Amino acid sequence: MHSVSVDDLPVEPLDPDTLELPEPYALLMPVEPPEVWCAGVSYERSLDARVDESAVKDVYTLVYGAERPELFLKDAACRRTVGPGRAIGVRADSTWDVPEPEIGLVLGQSGAITGYTIGNDVSSRAIEGENPLYLPQAKLFTGACAIGPAVLDADGAPGAFEIRLRVLGAGGDELFAGETSTARMQRSFDELVDWLLRDNPVPPGSVLLTGTGLVPPDSFTLAPGQRVEIHVPGIGTLVNPVGRAADLIAEER
């Protein structure tokens, strides 16, 4: 994989929607966060999906309306996080896996929001639905997180972000598509950051994924050979193929 200097850039301008580079170049992760955190059940659609999947019905309903949000550590030292074009993973011991497209907050000193990126909080709904105490296993595995393709400076951010998701099959057929807006969030970005930093030393450069409002139907599951595309105007399109987590571990050795 090659990084790009000014002298290496192609003559024609890049497509601002995708930031796609010509061969042999590829986009790198725009930021390598020391920690990635996630917020859950921050959209009503996410609440509905979690209640439907869970054997413990009241847990998600209670957190959606509670003062304290759901927050959990997704990754540290980028051991489970990939950038644009790199494969996200699905667990061998899960039968139901989904992408979770989200806006990621890039945090600076004292938790200030310095920029915005796209995140994919890949999740096993089968494992989390069996028991909420299995959340770490449903959320933490190789290739369980992707971020990119760029970071939008906080000063240029719109009032709300539009998020579009497409999942394509191995033959390029569209398996699922949907869109939502951060205007539908139950909580504000500042509120989530405030709770994250309470008695918690989050290092600068960390990313907080703010929850998803896009949930594929129960009949859908991620599978190796598929491709996930998450588009946010102003940031670009995060594209990742899907692979087996075990295979991704083997490739790293």
In a domain, 14, yes or no: no
CATH assignment of the domain containing 104: 3.90.850.10
Residue 218 has pLDDT above 50, yes or no: yes
In a domain, 132, yes or no: yes
- Residue 9 domain flag: no
Assigned domain for 7 exists: no
CB within 8 Å of 175: residues ≥ 6 apart: 167, 168, 169, 220, 226
Residue 5 resides in a domain: no
Angle at 40 between CA 38 and CA 41, to 5 degrees: 160
Q: Which domain, by its residues, includes 149?
A: 28-252
* Domain-located, residue 204: yes
Does residue 221 sit within a domain? yes
User: pLDDT tens digits, residue range 60-71?
Assistant: 788 888 899 999
| 85 falls within a domain | yes
Give 65-98 pLDDT, tens digit per residue.
889 999 999 999 999 999 999 999 999 999 999 9
- The residue with greater pLDDT, 181 or 59, is 181
Q: What is the pLDDT of residues 133-182, one digit of tens each?
A: 999 999 999 999 999 999 999 998 999 999 999 999 999 999 999 999 99
Burial of 57 by CB count in 10 Å (0-12 exposed, 13-18 middle, 19+ buried)? exposed
In degrees and rounded to multiples of 5, residue 72 shows phi and psi of -150, 155
Per the structure, the count of domains in the chain is 1
- Residue 9 sits at φ, ψ, to 5 deg, of -65, 140
